[in-house]
Structure 1
Amino acid sequence: MASKPIVLHIGDPVKFNTSLYEQLSQQFTIIRPSEAERQREPFLQALREKKWGDFSAVLRPWWATGGEMGRWDKELIPLLPSSMKVYASAGAGFDWADVDLMAEAGILYCNGASASSEAVADMALYHILSVFRNMQWSNMAARSQDRAQFVDAHTNAPFTAHNPRGHTLGVVGLGNIGYTIATKAFAAFGMKIIYSDPFPKMPEQEAAIGARRVEMDDLLAQADCVVLAAPGAGGKKILDAEKIRKMKRGSRLVNIARGSLVDQEAVADALEEGILFAAGLDVHENEPEVSVRLVKNRNATLTCHTAGGALETTIGFEELSMKNVLAVLTGQNPLTPVNKHLFK
C-alpha cells in the first residue's frame, strides 16, 4: 500500500477548525516540528538531512507562530524536497517567503488574504475617517486629563477636519483587501475611487465602485487620501522620500499593508513640512518599535498591526490554509494561490 503524503505543520496546533484538521490527519501523515526544531539553523539542518522525509506540503495555520526559521529564501528553498507542492499559510502578506523562487521550484504559495479582507477593510475605514476628521487629535486631548488640551481640540480641530464624501481615495493594490476597502469607502463615505495595480479589475468591477485605474505617480498627485493595500514590493519601498514628495500637498496616507513598504521617517518629515496633513498607520517599519516622532504627532493615527485582528480572521486563516493543502494534494485547484501566474 502506498504511503500517505506527508504534510509539515509548522507552528501552534489548530485551535478552531479541529474537524477539518482531523480530516487532514486521516488523509495525510502530519508532522509538527517542535519550536526548537523550527529555529533557523536546526530547521535548515533538518532539511539537509531529510529529517521529515519527502513531504508534499507545508501548513502554517497560525500566523503568530511557524515563522521561527525566518524568511523562506534562496538559502532555504533549494533544500526543500522535490515532492513539495504547496506552502499554505495564514496571513494576508507573504514577505516571509520568496514566492517567485517557489514558483521556479514548482511550489504553490497560498495565503489567507480573503479571510482577513473584511477586518482589514474595516480598520482601513477607521483610519480614513480618523485622518479626515482629526480623530487622533481629539483622542489624545480627551485622554490627556488637561483642560486646555480638551478645549483646544474641541474648539480648533473642526477647522481642519473634513467629511470624506466627494474626496478622492487612491488605493495602491486593488486585490481582495483593496477592493473591499474601495467598496466600503465608496458606499459608506461617497468617495471617488482611483487605483494603481499591475492587474486591472474587470470593467464591471470598476463600474460597481466608480473606480478608475491610473499610474502610480498620477495617483499620488490626485488622491486626497492614499491607502496602501499591496501585499509587497519585492523588498522595495512603495513610498520612499521621493515618492512621498509627489503626493498631493495636504493629502493623507493610510497604511494597512506592510510597514516595510513605507519610509516612516520620510512620513514624519512630510507631516512636519505640510506635504501630508495626516497619516494613519496600522503597520510600522520596525515593529514592534514605533517612530517616536509619529507617536508625538497628533495628526498620526497609530494602531498595533491589528487590522486583521478579528476572531473571524483567525478562524478563517486556519480553515483556508488547511483547505488549500487538501485541494492541492487531492489534485484540485488551490483556493488562494499567490504565485500561480509565475509558473512556467
Structure 2
Amino acid sequence: MADPTNTPMPPGTPAPASPVLAASVPDYAAALPRPTATKPRVLHIGDPVKYNPETYAAFSAQCDIVRPSTPERSRPEFIAALREQRWGDFDAIFRPFWGTGGEMGAWDAELIDLLPASVKVFASAGAGFDWADTKILGERGIIYCNSGLAAAEAVADFAIAMIISTFRHIPWCISAAAAPATFQDCHSRATASSHNLRGRVIGVIGFGNIGQQIAARCHHGFGMAIHYHDVVRKPVALEATVGAVFHDTLEGLIRASDCVVLCTPSGNKVITAETLGWFKKGGRFVNVARGSLVDEEALADALESGGIGTIALDVHAGEPAVSPRLLKFVGERAMLTCHNAGGTVETHVGFEELSMRNIMAVLAGGDAITPVNTHYLKREPAAGGGL
C-alpha cells in the first residue's frame, strides 16, 4: 500500500499548541547527555522541522543532526550511501512528516540490513507503519516509534462524521441539493432509510486510543451503546467509562452491532466475505484504519446484494486509486474520502514533536514514548523513562 499522505500544510502556517502532547510527554531534552565531541548522531529524512522550534533547538543542541539531500533519499542513492557509510555511525532515524522522507520506499530487509549497528531508534510521523518491517527492526535491536497518539483526536472526530453519515446519508443529502429534481427525490426517500444514533450499537474493532476516543464521543455525545473486540480485554474501570461490552470473538461483535468501525493497526484482512456475512442485514461499516484490512471486492459484493446498507471509507487498498466498484455507491450509500482522517495542522504539529521526544527519550537512556515493536527486541530497552 502506498504511503498515506495527510493534509499538506501551507507555507507559513503558524504552529498551534498540541495539548495532548503537552500534557502527556515529559521533557526528555533535559535528560540527554550534555554536548560533547561525540554527540549522538540522528539521520533526519525529509523536510526540516516547521512547527516546534523550541523542541528542535534542544534536540539539535544535544544531537548531531544529519539530513540527506533529496537526491540522496531516492532508493538507489540511499542504498549506496548506507553501503559506503556516508553518514557515519548514526544512532537514530527521524522522519517528522509523511509528505517527505519516504522517497526510498519500503523499509524492508534490503535497507535495514545496511543500517549501522549503532542505530537504537527510528521515530516517524503517522500512526501506520505498514511501510516499515518493524519485526526486522526489532530483531536488530531498533525500537520503532509511531506518532499515533498525535493523530488520535483528529481521527476520532472524523470517524464520528463518517458514523453519522452511515445513519443519515450525508453525502446523498449534499449532492442531491444541486438540482430541484434530485433535491425532491432525496427529501422524499432519504427519510425512509435514515435513523437516529441514540440507542444504536456501535461495534469498535480495536479498542486502542483512537477506538476509545470514538467510543467516548458516541456514548456521551449520541447515547449509543458501545461494544468492542480486541486481542486483549481492557480493564473493567476503563470499560465502565463508556459502558463498553467486550466480545471475545469478532463474529460476536459484528453480529451485535448496527455499525462497525475498524480501528486496528495494519495486518491480516479483517473484513472479508466471511466476516461480511456476520453483519446485520443492511448493516453499516466505517474504516479509519487501513485499506489493506478490507477485501474491497467482497465489500462491493455485499453492497450490491444489500447485505451491507451504507459504508464510509477514509482509507483504500490501492491508494491513491479507489475501487471503481465502490465508487458506484458514492452518494446514496457510500462516503469515500481521501485518507483525511488524521490530516489537521494540530496532527502535524504533534507528529513532529512526538518523533523528536521519542528519540530524545531513548538516547537519554529511557523508554520510548510510543514504541510499537518492543516485543520483537532481542535486547531489552533501557530501564527508566516511561510513559
Asked if Structure 1 and Structure 2 have the same fold, meaning a TM-score greater than 0.5 normalized by the shorter chain, the answer is yes
The aligned residue for residue 353 of structure 2 is 319
Question: What letter is aligned with 1:45?
Answer: A
Cα distance in structure 2, aligned partners of 1:258 and 1:23: 35
Cα shift readout 1:306-325 (whole Å, capped 9, x = no counterpart): 10111111101110000111
Which residue, 65, 79, 91 being the options, matches 2:100?
65
Which residue, 246, 254, 257 being the options, matches 2:278?
246
Percent of pairs with identical residues: 54
Cα shift readout 1:220-261 (whole Å, capped 9, x = no counterpart): 22211111111211xx22212232223222111100111111
Map of 1:5-16 to 2, 5 A cutoff?
5-16=40-51
RCO comparison, higher one (Cα < 8 Å, 6+): 2
Cα distance in structure 2, aligned partners of 1:148 and 1:264: 32
The aligned residue for residue 327 of structure 2 is 295
Cα distance in structure 2, aligned partners of 1:241 and 1:289: 22
Q: Out of 6-15 and 66-75, give the one that drifted further.
A: 66-75
Cα distance in structure 1, aligned partners of 2:112 and 2:231: 27
The aligned residue for residue 163 of structure 1 is 196
Is 1:176 equivalent to 2:176 in the alignment? no
Cα distance in structure 1, aligned partners of 2:154 and 2:334: 21
Q: Out of 1-10 and 319-328, give the one that drifted further.
A: 1-10
TM-superposed CA distance for 1:37, in Å, is 1.1
Cα shift readout 1:97-127 (whole Å, capped 9, x = no counterpart): 1112211111111111111111000000000
Is 1:231 equivalent to 2:265 in the alignment? yes
TM-superposed CA distance for 1:343, in Å, is 2.7
Cα distance in structure 1, aligned partners of 2:371 and 2:245: 26
The aligned residue for residue 270 of structure 1 is 302
Which residue, 84, 104, 107 being the options, matches 1:49?
84
SS at match of 2:360: helix
Which residue, 368, 377, 381 being the options, matches 1:334?
368
Cα shift readout 1:34-77 (whole Å, capped 9, x = no counterpart): 12111122212222221111111000111221111111112221
Cα shift readout 1:196-230 (whole Å, capped 9, x = no counterpart): 21132111111111112211121122211111111
The aligned residue for residue 258 of structure 1 is 290
Is 1:200 equivalent to 2:233 in the alignment? yes
Which residue, 29, 37, 57 being the options, matches 2:64?
29
* Distance of aligned partners of 1:33 and 1:299 in 2 relative to their CA distance in 1, 3 Å threshold: same
Cα distance in structure 2, aligned partners of 1:20 and 1:180: 27
Q: TM-score, normalised by structure 1?
A: 0.95
Q: TM-score, normalised by structure 2?
A: 0.85
Question: What letter is aligned with 1:109?
Answer: Y
TM-superposed CA distance for 1:2, in Å, is 4.6
Cα shift readout 1:106-152 (whole Å, capped 9, x = no counterpart): 1111111111111000000000000011112212211xx32211101
Cα distance in structure 2, aligned partners of 1:34 and 1:203: 50
Which residue, 175, 179, 192 being the options, matches 1:140?
175
Is 1:117 equivalent to 2:152 in the alignment? yes
How many residues align? The count is 340
Map of 1:305-316 to 2, 5 A cutoff?
305-316=339-350
Question: What letter is aligned with 1:237?
Answer: K
Question: What letter is aligned with 1:207?
Answer: A
Which residue, 124, 128, 142 being the options, matches 1:107?
142
Question: What letter is aligned with 1:153?
Answer: C
Please identify runs of 4+ aligned residues in structure 1 that moved more than 3 A. Answer: none
Cα shift readout 1:144-178 (whole Å, capped 9, x = no counterpart): x3221110111110111111111111111111111
Cα distance in structure 2, aligned partners of 1:45 and 1:203: 52
Q: Which consecutive residues of structure 1, in runs of 5 or more, have no partner in the other structure?
A: none
The aligned residue for residue 11 of structure 2 is none
SS at match of 1:76: helix
SS at match of 2:210: helix
Question: What letter is aligned with 1:330?
Answer: A
Cα distance in structure 1, aligned partners of 2:73 and 2:269: 29
Cα distance in structure 2, aligned partners of 1:340 and 1:91: 18
Cα distance in structure 1, aligned partners of 2:232 and 2:95: 28
Q: Aligned Cα RMSD in Å?
A: 1.3
Cα distance in structure 2, aligned partners of 1:46 and 1:198: 41
Q: Which consecutive residues of structure 2, in runs of 5 or more, have no partner in the other structure?
A: 1-35, 379-387
